[in-house]
Amino acid sequence: MAETDLAIAVAGTDVFANIPIIVAGLVTIVWRSVYPDLIIGVINADAAKGIWQAPMAE
């Protein structure tokens, strides 16, 4: 049961993480600018760096 709850929680956070990516894509289509994609890319790169370094700190 706990594994199912964890899977649901992870899926929920994935949805919230993908919303800015979708919005950036829509803004890019409308304004023909790469900056929204770059901004979200930098934010995601920072988050990925934190996730990558977390196991190293343990």
pLDDT 10s digits, 4-27: 776 676 677 677 778 888 999 899
Give the per-residue pLDDT at 45: 81
Contact 13, 19 (CB under 8 A): no
Q: How many CB atoms lie within 10 A of CB 24?
A: 20
The domain in which residue 13 lies consists of: 2-57
Report how many domains make up the chain. 1
pLDDT of residue 1 exceeding 70: no
Exposure class string for 28-50: b at 16+ Cβ within 10 A, else e: beeeeeeebeeebeeeeeeeeee
